[in-house]
Amino acid sequence: MSISVLGAGAFGTALAISLAQDGRAVGLWARDPGDMASARENTRRLPGFAFPDSLTVLEKIEDVQTSDIILLAVPMQKLAGFLAENATLFQDKTLVACCKGVDLQSGLGPAEIIQRSCPSATPAILSGPSFAVDIAAGLPTALTLACEDGEALQAALSTKNIRLYRSSDLIGVEIGGALKNVVAIACGIAIGAGLGESARAALMTRGYAEMQRYAALKGANSDTLSGLSGFGDLTLTCSSAKSRNYSFGLALGHGDPLPEGTTVEGRATAKAVSNFAQSANIEMPIAQMVVAVLDKQLTIGQAVESLLSRPLKEE
């Protein structure tokens, strides 16, 4: 099966490299490709990683019509618009969302957006602990691929360094990938503000509880959150400066200027999740405190005090 990756940020580029290193014919499309075709690497987003011979930089997005499988590596908050703009190209294709988050406008995850925008397409989600530089370097990881009847897709997308596990729980997989970014911002804030490793561990644990509550209300399988796309990705994202969301939180905690030009999916997702929690009357205090700090409604000190002063309860 032929494969194309749409979106040449660091992660999309890394996936294309990993897939092509196995000799597959892989297309990589970017809205602004720059010198990728001539340089044979993504000098702006993922420098230092040469493109395998079987990786082709697509000149125009219409070229994806020859592909059976299309990986969508566009930012979450642009996914709905991107699909609406190009829906005719994606009819009857397998669309694999590689973005993580909740759309702020609709409150939907990537699988639901695919289903609404491209009803004839087969939606899938690829998620789990994965940094672009590690994947491009050929370092090993394991990810979750969520899709109904996904055995053929699992075989098509597995590579020498990416081991894929199947799941039929699209909602659970997309929620794990989305909400771990919110917790990562909170953990970055805690470390950046000097609150210590114990505080980070507590935030990860209670953040995981929030993820489970949210997933249950959305109809996900609770076991999914204990897998690679939930607990696995949460562990990685909350403990490494390679994580854009964690680094964003670190800058907030330090009081440093926030990084510009970097996609931080957890910002919009925190707001979308908090809006849903309020309307559904479920407790998600960490997500809500992240929003309050981002919107400058509370200082970090006030947010910590608010979390610590909540009514005592059983775990």
In what helix (H) or strand (E) does residue 315 lie, and over which residues does it extend?
Answer: none
- Between these two residues, 178 and 314, which has the higher pLDDT value? 178
Mean pLDDT of 94-111: 97
Q: Which residues are annotated as a binding site for sn-glycerol 3-phosphate?
A: 100, 128, 130, 180, 233, 243-245
> pLDDT tens across 284-304, in order?
999 999 999 999 999 999 999
Q: Where in the chain is the domain with CATH 1.10.1040.10?
A: 177-308
- Identify the H or E element spanning 126: strand 122-127
**pLDDT (tens digit, 9 = 90+) per residue, 17-35?**
999 998 999 999 999 999 9
Fold classification of 177-308 (topology level): N-(1-d-carboxylethyl)-l-norvaline Dehydrogenase; domain 2 (1.10.1040)
Q: What is the mean pLDDT of residues 208-234?
A: 96
What are phi and psi for residue 167, nearest 5 degrees? -150, 145
pLDDT at 22: 86
| Mean pLDDT of the region 144-165 | 96
Residue 313 burial by Cβ neighbours in a 10 Å radius (0-12, 13-18, 19+): exposed
Catalytic residue flag (residue 313): no
Q: What was the pLDDT predicted at 257? A: 83
State yes or no: pLDDT of 259 exceeds 90. no
Q: Where in the chain is the domain with CATH 3.40.50.720?
A: 3-168
CATH architecture designation of domain 3-168:
3-Layer(aba) Sandwich (3.40)
Closest CA to 248 of 261, 237, 259: 259
Question: How would residue 262 be classed by pLDDT, with cut points 50, 70 and 90?
Answer: confident
* pLDDT score of 272: 97
Provide the angle, in degrees to the nearest 10, between the axes of the packed helices 265-280 and 170-192.
110
Query: pTM value?
Result: 0.96
Structure-derived torsion over alpha carbons of residues 232, 233, 238, 243, reported in degrees to the nearest 10? 140
> Is the per-residue pLDDT at 11 higher than 90?
yes
pLDDT tens-digit profile of 66-94?
A: 999 999 999 999 999 999 999 999 999 99
Residue from 160, 180, 218, 271 carrying the catalytic annotation: 180
What is the structure's pLDDT at 261? 74
Question: Alpha carbon of 80 to those of 83, 216, 245: distances in Å?
Answer: 5, 24, 22
Q: What pLDDT, on the 0 to 100 scale, is given for residue 1?
A: 78
State the pLDDT at residue 207. Answer: 97
Residue 222 pLDDT? 87
All residues at 6 or more sequence positions from 92 whose CB lies less than 8 Å from its CB, including other chains: 120, 121
**Cα separation, 132 vs 15, whole angstroms:** 8
pLDDT, position 162: 98
Distance CA(188)–CA(191), nearest Å, equals 5
